[in-house]
Amino acid sequence: MTSSPIFPDTPAAERVRHELKRRALTVSAVERITPNMLRITLTGSDLADFPSASPDDHVKVFIEGPDGQAQMRDYTPRRFDRASCELVLDFALHEAGPATAWALAAKQGDPLIVGGPRGSLVLSKEIKRFLLIGDETALPAIGRRIEEAGPGVDITVYAAVTGPEEQQSFASAANVSLNWVYRPAEDAASAQRLLGALDDLNVAPGTYVWVAAEASVARAIRTHIVEKAGYPLAWIKASGYWLLGQADAHEKLD
Ligand SMILES: Cc1cc2nc3c(=O)[nH]c(=O)nc-3n(C[C@H](O)[C@H](O)[C@H](O)COP(=O)(O)OP(=O)(O)OC[C@H]3O[C@@H](n4cnc5c(N)ncnc54)[C@H](O)[C@@H]3O)c2cc1C
247 pLDDT more than 70: yes
What gap in Å lies between CA 96 and CA 77, rounded to an integer? Answer: 22
Is 6 a member of any domain?
Answer: no
Strands (E), the chain: 13-17, 22-34, 37-43, 59-64, 70-75, 77-81, 86-92, 111-115, 119-123, 129-134, 154-161, 175-182, 207-214, 236-242, 251-252
120, 57 contact by CB (below 8 A) = yes
User: Measured at the alpha carbon of residue 248, what is the angle toward residues 28 and 140, in degrees to the nearest 5?
Assistant: 45
Query: What confidence category does residue 253 fall into, taking pLDDT thresholds of 50, 70 and 90?
Result: confident
Q: Which residue has the least CA distance to atom 4 on ligand 1? A: 75
- Closest residue by Cα to atom 40, ligand 1, is 94
Nearest CA to ligand 1 atom 52: 241
Which pLDDT score, from 0 to 100, does residue 182 have? Answer: 98
Check whether residue 126 and residue 112 sit in a common domain.
no
Digit-coded pLDDT (tens) for 184-239: 999 999 999 999 999 989 999 999 999 999 999 999 999 999 998 899 999 999 99
pLDDT band at 5 (very low <50, low <70, confident <90, very high): low
Residues 62 and 148 in one domain: no
Q: Which residue has the higher pLDDT, 142 or 1?
A: 142
Q: What is the CATH number of the domain that holds 213?
A: 3.40.50.80
Residue at a domain's end among 95, 119, 143: 119
Which residues, in sequence order, are CB contacts of 153 under 8 Å at separation 6+?
128, 129, 130, 173, 174, 175
DSSP 124: P
Given ligand 1 and candidates 210, 242, 244, 246, which is best to mutate, with the most ligand atoms within 8 Å of its CB?
A: 242
Q: What ranges in the chain are assigned the alpha helix state H?
A: 98-105, 139-148, 192-198, 215-227
**Torsion of Cα atoms, 208 then 149 then 16 then 71, to 10°:** -90
Judge whether 137 and 161 are in contact, CB under 8 Å. no
Residue 102's alpha-carbon distances to 2, 21, 30, 247, 249, in angstroms, are: 58, 21, 12, 15, 18
CA pair distance 23, 200, nearest whole angstrom: 45
Residues 148/78, Cβ–Cβ less than 8 Å: no
Considering the domain architecture, whether residues 148 and 93 belong to the same structural domain is answered as no
Q: What is the pLDDT of residue 2?
A: 45
The 10s digit of each residue's pLDDT in 98-156 is 999 999 999 999 999 999 999 999 999 999 999 999 999 999 999 999 999 999 999 99
pLDDT in tens, 10-47: 999 999 999 999 999 999 999 999 999 999 999 999 99
Q: Which amino acid is at 208?
A: Y
Tally Cβ neighbours within 10 Å of residue 70. Answer: 10
Q: So what's the pLDDT on residue 214?
A: 98
Looking at residue 254, its pLDDT comes to 67
> Which atom from ligand 1 is nearest to the alpha carbon of 73?
17
Number of domains in the chain: 2
Query: What was the pLDDT predicted at 4?
Result: 47
Tens-place pLDDT, residues 60-100? 999 998 888 999 999 999 999 999 999 999 999 999 899 99
pLDDT at 1 over 50: no
Quote the domain boundaries for residue 215: 120-252
Residue owning the nearest CA to atom 1 of ligand 1: 58
Q: Which is it for strands 86-92 and 77-81: parallel, antiparallel or unpaired?
A: antiparallel
* Residue 85, domain CATH: 2.40.30.10
- The pocket around ligand 1, CB under 6 angstroms, is made up of 58, 73-76, 90-92, 94, 96-100, 137, 140, 188, 241-248, 250
Do 219 and 184 sit in the same domain of this protein? yes
Q: Which residues pair with 53 in a beta bridge?
A: none
pTM value is 0.97
